[in-house]
């Protein structure tokens, strides 16, 4: 069902007035909120030190409740959970009681009642704007699950609201944030492989995830010129996959042409996420001075007559009785190290990526800086994703960017 977080207090009228580019002060007076977004642009915490930020969780479905909530609660030195919000009153009440915080079914009421510094939006992606726009208008910066929104116009509404009201948006693109990808990117940024000429997403992530992973290798600052795509449906042996018995699969293929003439190759299939028939998924890139296939990077030896594998050392320590990744160190000619910035918390490797997303928006608000990934990277990932799909809907014809 449609996520009805902003179904009261006149917010639909308010949002429509924003789309027309003006603030309708009469809406605020009629609603009698005692709160004027125009007077709260870039609202800061009432606390003076800003060390521990108050966070609200918007969306308590499987990912919100099962992934984000325990990580927020673990980051206790940095974040304080003050509210949960969801359109399903019975579910959010249960989660609120378990977490010991107030439960809301309306974003505006949540902001006015709990006064969070930041929020995590973990709802159906096509509804992200329904939570993101009013959060921005009420002075709350937020991190939103991917994609930024499924519709580019809705993405632009979210971005415009953030700009108008001085708030920040982080996009929770997690594939490049997992530790194994962090050390690869650290080596790329240190110039170990030189310029990356070609990068592949081989069934690792769908759509914008695969695009974002490719872009993390080529360079997040490199623009995209155009994209091509095609798709095929093929028969497969009947087998058990996610409680179903598929007899066919849908293949997706794309080519991304970057402004620096580098190329991204995107491959994905409907059986990519765990089918026993399709156990292979990885990523790879080929650079000026080396390559990486999966988690196996390599460069040339000193004589430049043989390949030299790069070994990555995993360093761990114990936190609260749990083994935690402290750092990854690559034995490149000049060693490259990626340190886990959250190594003082008992987090798994997978949780580190989500913690990084949460702390990105927290640090951006605390330090008045930009989030690590930000809305423009999130928007571009979705734009390229849409360009590939537009191409395969048009017989593989090139689709120029921007759309």
Residue 321: left (phi > 0), alpha (psi -120 to 50), or beta? left
Helix axes 152-165, 374-392, angle to 10 degrees: 170
| 3-state secondary structure (DSSP) of residue 203 | strand
Domain(s) labelled CATH 3.30.360 in the chain stretch across 176-347+375-392
pLDDT of residue 51: 83
Q: How many angstroms separate the CA atoms of 308 and 116, rounded?
A: 51
Question: pLDDT, tens digit, for every residue of 226-263?
Answer: 999 999 999 999 999 999 999 999 999 999 999 999 99
More confident residue, 373 or 1: 373
More confident residue, 222 or 280: 222
Query: What are 141's strand-pairing partners?
Result: 118
Residue 388: name the closest of 268, 229, 246 by CA.
Answer: 229
The vertex-29 CA angle with 25 and 34, nearest 5°, equals: 110
Q: Flag whether pLDDT at 45 surpasses 90.
A: no
* Confidence band, pLDDT 50/70/90 cuts, at residue 387: very high
* Confidence band, pLDDT 50/70/90 cuts, at residue 50: low
pLDDT of residue 66: 98
Question: pLDDT, tens digit, for every residue of 268-323?
Answer: 999 999 999 998 899 999 999 999 999 999 999 999 999 999 999 999 999 999 99
Q: How far is CA 161 from CA 252, 356, 382, in A?
A: 34, 24, 19
Topology of domain 11-167, per CATH? Rossmann fold (3.40.50)
Q: Flag whether pLDDT at 39 surpasses 70.
A: no
Q: 152 near 383, Cβ under 8 Å?
A: yes
**Cβ atoms within 10 Å of 38's Cβ, excluding its own:** 12
Mean pLDDT, the chain, whole residue set: 90
pLDDT of residue 37: 41
pLDDT of residue 27: 26
Q: How many angstroms separate the CA atoms of 281 and 293, rounded?
A: 11
Query: What are 330's strand-pairing partners?
Result: 312, 336
Question: pLDDT, tens digit, for every residue of 147-156?
Answer: 999 999 999 9
Q: How far is CA 206 from CA 24, 230, 270, 301, in A?
A: 40, 14, 9, 35
Longest dimension (CA), the chain: 77
Query: For the structural domain made of 176-347+375-392, what CATH number should be given?
Result: 3.30.360
Judged by average pLDDT, the poorest of 32-46, 138-152, 166-180, 311-325 is 32-46
Q: 167 near 42, Cβ under 8 Å?
A: yes
Domain(s) labelled CATH 3.40.50.720 in the chain stretch across 11-167
In this prediction, residues 42-68 reach a mean pLDDT of: 79
Q: How many angstroms separate the CA atoms of 388 and 403, rounded?
A: 11
Label the pairing between strands 322-330 and 336-339. antiparallel
Question: pLDDT, tens digit, for every residue of 108-143?
Answer: 999 999 999 999 999 999 999 999 999 999 999 999
């Amino acid at each position: 069902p449609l996520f009805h977080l902003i179904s009261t207090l006149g917010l639909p009228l308010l949002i429509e007035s924003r789309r027309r580019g003006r603030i309708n002060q009469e809406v605020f007076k009629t609603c009698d909120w005692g709160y004027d977004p125009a007077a709260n642009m870039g609202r800061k915490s009432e606390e003076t030190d800003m060390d521990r930020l108050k966070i609200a969780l918007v969306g308590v479905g499987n990912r919100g409740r099962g992934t984000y909530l325990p990580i927020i609660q673990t980051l206790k030195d940095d974040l304080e959970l003050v509210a949960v919000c969801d359109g399903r009153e019975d579910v959010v009440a249960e989660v609120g009681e378990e977490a010991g915080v107030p439960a809301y079914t309306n974003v505006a009421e949540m902001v006015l009642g709990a006064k969070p510094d930041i929020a995590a939006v973990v709802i159906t992606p096509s509804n992200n704007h329904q939570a993101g726009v009013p959060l921005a208008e009420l002075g709350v910066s937020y991190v939103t699950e991917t994609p930024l929104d499924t519709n580019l116009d809705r993405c632009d509404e979210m971005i415009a609201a953030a700009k108008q009201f001085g708030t920040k948006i982080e996009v929770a693109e997690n594939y490049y944030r997992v530790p194994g990808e962090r050390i690869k990117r650290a080596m790329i940024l240190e110039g170990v492989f030189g310029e990356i000429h070609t990068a592949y997403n081989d069934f690792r992530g769908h759509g914008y995830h695969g695009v974002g992973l490719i872009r993390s290798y080529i360079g997040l600052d490199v623009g995209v010129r155009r994209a091509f795509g095609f798709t095929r449906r093929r028969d497969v042996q009947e087998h058990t996959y996610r409680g179903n018995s598929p007899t066919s699969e849908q293949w997706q293929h794309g080519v991304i042409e970057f402004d620096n003439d580098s190329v991204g190759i995107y491959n994905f299939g409907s059986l990519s996420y765990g089918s026993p028939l399709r156990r292979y998924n990885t990523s790879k890139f080929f650079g000026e001075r080396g390559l990486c296939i999966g988690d196996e990077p390599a460069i040339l030896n000193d004589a430049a007559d043989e390949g030299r594998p790069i070994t990555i050392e995993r360093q761990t320590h114990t936190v609260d009785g749990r083994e935690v990744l402290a750092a990854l160190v690559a034995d490149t000619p000049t060693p490259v190290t990626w340190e886990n910035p959250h190594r003082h918390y008992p987090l798994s490797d997978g949780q580190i990526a989500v913690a990084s997303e949460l702390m990105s928006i927290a640090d951006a608000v605390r330090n008045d800086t930009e989030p690590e990934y930000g809305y423009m990277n999130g928007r571009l990932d979705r734009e390229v994703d849409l360009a590939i799909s537009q191409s395969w809907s048009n017989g593989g014809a090139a689709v120029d960017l921007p759309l």
